[in-house]
Structure 1
């Protein structure tokens, strides 16, 4: 978002104007017709979370195209201080299929048991805000493609809700979460990989919740084979999430190609993924690697950027600051390549995380050393082209039995921190970012519950 006086713009379009009250406790925000529900949600989150003195009350009106007021909404922000925006932790124990909720009360998580799902279902676990209430829900997809949601009530309680299924005799791949229709609710997107019972391999389907029930929507058909990986981000600043994929170029061409799948509304009001060539990295998968694919906003311009790691351990950035993508004026930019940080293969096997560890608004790359002794961060540069250097940010503990890891803002200061779980002691440990490093890891408390932690654990940050 661009702030010019009391005007707020996105991608050159006026989104809203704002007026503070005399006591500075209330903002009146008037949105224009350019503001989709997703844009409204993201702007309100930024205004509340990123201020040193958070907004306590919001009164805003919705304006149509000619400026006439059509609705007025008054809302009280329940989380009234920066500390109240501390993120919580969702835990899924893969061995027992048990959910646990860790509510952040400041310096520790207070754990509540969630539902236990079928242990033989072969769960693939995701998370997102399925019903748009601002709280993070758990999502599970079984081996037979049945989808279930662990719906969060905002008070630490999860309730299992079935969300339907997709072609139980087919294989699905590239399961991702994002708001692909701009309604403010997260959706689940997946690609059908096979054609055992249908003739549509490569088809993209989106499972979405309309507030009352789930529906499945067709989002287009791409090649099913050959993709290295996909990620989610908003590539054209319209407030609607898109997908980004990478694959080898045609045989004989020494490069990999990046493609945007831009979620675009078509005349019948449904959505399709509009494929656009986004850029290329030199070297094919077989010879160069291109693993650890990451999606982040390296320059804080509101567009999703990419990075991928070569076989020699070097990341390459693709920052979306180039010219417009070809064929259609849909608002997406080409990727500009630049050298990224080197994480030697002998010391770093991943996983790598994307987060804003220094609080400057730019996403960075972080990871734990393979021997569990240290945490490292490569902070994105402030100047173009995007660059960074891997730096030691703090110690970790190689004497404990770690399972799962996640990043999140666990003290509400606007900087991302690091969390992992010691299986043997059943404790969650957090290293809090100081902006230039990680403080000594802190014990965030015993994970209580009837089920023994076995692992592997899936950790998901969010507001619970």
Structure 2
């Protein structure tokens, strides 16, 4: 028996092959990224496919899929922290080159309400204190139209250019369209109100007059959420003073303007000096209480301007602009954090990476974090990471960019069933593209989204060509999946697409839905007949899906899907469905109870009893009794379908059939109502 496995790692493959052969594997073929690196050099990243002939004992116990073998070889032979995975496949497509664009930050967000993310790119404009940002609308096939340009009205205090201004995206005036907010002055906020077609009106400006005169909104840090549940998006910004930094919440007025400020945290800082004070603002719901929380990453520098240490402050919100400041994470060096629900439990998690490895911090309901770390097998600098389930195994994965002296790679961290443990997959960044290193030492961030509306998460990045132009590359996900393909995502930036139930033919009803939201989703909930029957956190960014099969009694039922965001903002879809009776009569005289079945668990206290009977002579009546108490009588037919009210708990349901001669037939079942 021969099998192929992939080897990703540092150092000499020759040593790895020695370990394989000494373990009983016969190497019959090697394919990889260069004989010199493969066979001789230590300290270089190696990527190879190796064909091995398995020793007979392993053949006998590993008559399994090749991905299982890959896990065994990785863990047993090479000692790598990896597990069995399906590797996603991508078709690389490029958009037309854009001359003269030197990009900064890239965001994926649906600006024209077609359900497909577009790209918004902050431009570095050398020597220009009023640079531009560019909007690339998605074509729907993974590529993008040429950009529309928008000029900044101003730049933050102390920003001498070149450099991009951070952006926050949300519906700031309540018209259902995505808007863009940014810091553009000493105490000014600028909002570009979206028209819903991918274009924007002239910017609106707000001046926050309550900010002390010795503070200014430096560095442009900004984040958004509905922190007080009034349906209006608020902003979080940072005021930089001579000896401290203050984090402010700016309550949204619902019309695109801001005027008030609520200080929520003060940390040491020295103006907007690098490596001092607040470096990042992140929003999430880290304890899953339905209130938006704030992550404030504050650093303390040392005399030569280098980074000293980072203190992540997690501010747990109370839903009314109040926050509990905690410092549950210790960090000895400055790193860049990202936020998302990695393990699908509805609580936001944090993750960061550098040359030392990947650190994951899983949010817990007790307002603490579970820390896991995985050592890196690469050197060089890393970008931040983006999150999605790229290989359709139900676990959210990560993708980042790293580079060494000669090459740039996309590194996929494919989640396993163990928290904090990932398997690696690597893609070469196209040779025509140069992904620059930023001032912070990181390379450009790959963004994720469903750029061709097939339900699968794709990735996109921008790179410079040798001619000085910029080109957008998209990795269109071509992995054959099952979870993704059950239901298309909505053709809108916000809403729920109900795929099932549609036509119900039996007592077991399939529920499938997908959702888009304007903020990161926490979960999708299913409610039927006034009771919550399910809550699932299959989410990434503002996307989510739900799938379940649940038995129901005959009759018409009323359901609602809710999509819940990190600030408990909702998208919802109401629906009805009817379960047919279809209960057959017994072949001989007697009673047949179709619902509830014996031992059934019913998520309702109004229970539909579905039964049929065969009687001799003429029917007099059918009766339903619950725990010895008569609840219903039917005199016209032996096909009985009746809703009876019960209290929560386990009950005995008895159905009697009586003919005009007084002869009685009966059947009973026990079921639990919740």
TM over 0.5: yes
Hey, what does 1:243 align to over in structure 2?
294
Hey, what does 1:396 align to over in structure 2?
429
Among 216, 220, 223, the alignment partner of 2:260 is: 216
Is the aligned partner of 1:233 residue 2:284?
yes
The one of the two structures with greater contact order (alpha-carbon pairs below 8 A, sep at least 6) is 1
CA shift in 2, pair 1:369/1:164, >3 Å: same
Hey, what does 1:331 align to over in structure 2?
none
Is the aligned partner of 1:340 residue 2:364?
no
Matches within 5 A, 1:66-85: 84-85=114-115
Shift of 1:428: 2.0
Shift of 1:93: 2.2
Rounded Cα–Cα distance in structure 2 between residues aligned with 1:165 and 1:375: 41
Hey, what does 1:273 align to over in structure 2?
323
Matches within 5 A, 1:88-127: 88-95=118-125, 97-107=131-141, 108-111=143-146, 113-118=148-153, 122=159, 124-127=165-168
Shift of 1:246: 4.9
CA shift in 2, pair 1:427/1:246, >3 Å: closer
Encode CA deviations 1:290-327: one digit per residue, 9 max, x unaligned: 512222211011111112336x5212211124x613xx
Contact 1:341 1:388 in 2 (8 A): no
Shift of 1:376: 1.0
Shift of 1:178: 2.9
Shift of 1:396: 1.6
Q: TM-score, normalised by structure 1?
A: 0.61
Unaligned runs of 5+ in 2: 1-111, 270-276, 301-307, 437-443, 482-540, 544-674
Among 380, 400, 411, the alignment partner of 2:452 is: 411
Shift of 1:248: 7.9
Hey, what does 2:248 align to over in structure 1?
204
Among 362, 366, 371, the alignment partner of 1:319 is: 362
Hey, what does 1:136 align to over in structure 2?
178
Give the match's secondary structure for 2:203.
Answer: strand
Rounded Cα–Cα distance in structure 1 between residues aligned with 2:379 and 2:197: 42
Rounded Cα–Cα distance in structure 2 between residues aligned with 1:379 and 1:86: 24
Rounded Cα–Cα distance in structure 2 between residues aligned with 1:230 and 1:105: 32
Is the aligned partner of 1:176 residue 2:223?
yes
Rounded Cα–Cα distance in structure 2 between residues aligned with 1:212 and 1:147: 10
Report the more deviating stretch, 155-164 or 109-118: 109-118
Rounded Cα–Cα distance in structure 2 between residues aligned with 1:194 and 1:401: 37
Shift of 1:139: 2.5
Rounded Cα–Cα distance in structure 1 between residues aligned with 2:386 and 2:132: 24
CA shift in 2, pair 1:169/1:256, >3 Å: closer
- Whose Rg is larger? 2
Q: How many residues are aligned here?
A: 329
Unaligned runs of 5+ in 1: 1-77, 326-333, 438-460
Contact 2:385 2:446 in 1 (8 A): no
Is the aligned partner of 1:87 residue 2:137?
no
Among 386, 401, 407, the alignment partner of 1:368 is: 401
Contact 2:283 2:295 in 1 (8 A): yes
Contact 1:150 1:160 in 2 (8 A): yes
Rounded Cα–Cα distance in structure 2 between residues aligned with 1:401 and 1:258: 32
Give the match's secondary structure for 1:180.
Answer: coil
CA shift in 2, pair 1:130/1:290, >3 Å: same
Rounded Cα–Cα distance in structure 1 between residues aligned with 2:236 and 2:295: 12
Contact 1:367 1:377 in 2 (8 A): yes
